[in-house]
Structure 1
Amino acid sequence: MNHKKNKPVIGISIGDINGVGPEVTIKALLDNRLQRLVTPVIYAHGKVLTFYRKQLELEEFNFMQIRNIDEVHHKKVNVINVLDESPEVIPGVETQEAGKLALAALDQAIIDLKEGKIDGLVTAPLNKNNINSPEKKFIGHTEYLTEAFNQNESLMFLVAEDIRVGLVTAHMPIKKVAENVTAENIKKKLDIMLQSLQEDFGIGKPRVAVLGLNPHAGEDGLLGDEEENIIKPVIKAYKDKGHLVFGPYSSDGFFGMMHQKKFDGVLAMYHDQGLIPFKSLAFETGVNFTAGLPIVRTSPDHGTAYNIAGKKVADEGSMRAAILQAYDIIRIRAGWESDED
């Protein structure tokens, strides 16, 4: 990284301007520690930030509008207008205009990421309803970025201080989950998790727990046979290769007894199995990280929260953690690269 003083340039795509994204972004960036570590570039519109600065009575928040990433200023919060016209800001209300801005912000950030002009991306929450259009189907940030960077696989990895949870199946209807819990899919996600724990988190010999699919991890075949036929053979294959992979564990007992503290990562079979315990244990500091991509992308682990938008009560802890996590991963990756050079 050739940036002044080696400060990573971190893009923040504003997400839905009528949700809590702008509020948690402003509040997080008021933390001087963050600005000493990173150079923030918000992909949005200056008028949106001016609106919330006034609405939230945070007059001490200052930013500099730049036309494009080449004008980045390393001692300021930078804002790039991704659309000529700023849509009307109506906190708590879903509008098509807000969806248009959210997508424009994400797309511009992706262009700058691809050109190496920013070192990482933090995505503020958006609404899948108003960002979707007939020509562009948007399932989620994870899938959108995986496709944008021409990767076949990525891992939705929820991370916090002493819990990291990855998912074999993510944004998928429950009725399709079982047929997608295959040896091949588990291996793909396990490979990404092991590599990410080493290369993004600096853990030399990661310990990973694999959860079962069925209640009580199948109870020796009484409650389903996926554990016996699919999950256990995969775990054995990884152990035979010298990896510290254990399981399958019954999710309720595993998290009930706080066993996640004994492992560097936990691989869950489906969305709610992993995210309910994660958000219960780490909602205010949890970060959603997309592992397996050539770029660094994190986000807060919450949604648009329309019901509290613009009311000064949104907690910025998860957004602050997302920016710091991106900074850490960028630093660890850069260290790995220089070690190999």
Structure 2
Amino acid sequence: MMTQVPAPPLPIVDGVAPSYLWLPAGSWPNLLVFLEQRFRAIDRATWIARMARGEVVDGDGVRLTPDSPYRRGMCIFYYRELDAETPIPFEEIILYQDERILVADKPHFLPVIPTGRFLHETLLVRLKKRTGLAHLTPIHRLDRETAGVVIFSHDVASRGAYQSLFQQRLVDKTYEALAPTRPELALPLVHRSRMVDGVPFFRMQEVAGEPNSETRIELIEQRETCSLYHMHPLTGKKHQLRVHLAALGIPIINDTFYPEVYPCKGDDWSAPLKLLAREISFTDPLDGRRRHFASQREL
């Protein structure tokens, strides 16, 4: 199995790095036929035009043509394009930057990385355009719906050391959420459960079995129509905080996935999920300093 990706032979253009793909096993008469079948939303003429501009190349930067032979295991590079992209009317904040990391305060609705219908309107691409840091990479993720602190690496040599902090659970994370008040719920508490992929595919669900997720939940204050909660996740399962609060009968305000799925609102910005990645703290793996970063946003 191919694991090492060659250095991209195409430059970053307008903050967007080239995508890459290892060609899988199969028999196609040429590269164009494969690309047509692999990416059915992109027509033949578009691929031919990209190849004519030199925007589809192999790992050595050699331009590929529609008639280039299909070779299993070859790594190809190309630019992802979108016909139209709706601007997201909220701005990120750079909280900190040094020679190794950058810390950003992400707004609601902005994806961290390119995905689906989002390319330029993502935190990563915006920050690359803004800073010119070609090697900028997030070392953890937040859902598009969640706002708050995200840490990026822009130094390849030290990136693994920072990534290992999250893998080894050596990062202290605090989230805030607005959710209904349940006076009978004894807080603080620790909620543990087994979380698995749910239905539809984008949801998670709790099932019986050995717990694989854990969150400490505290009540901070009661407001007129809801309460403010602090959550400290020990694990990092997809949608963990949203699932855990919904399971306790206090689903996060404006959550369209839990406990029920609501129709997609498209580009309606009026009701953000009331979930914020408030703080991140850790001991720097390179110099031993205690690092602490906090969002400037309020729910």
TM-score normalised according to structure 1 size: 0.26
Higher helix share: 1
Tell me which structure has the larger Cα radius of gyration. Answer: 2
Higher relative contact order (CA 8 A, sep 6+): 1
Higher strand share: 2
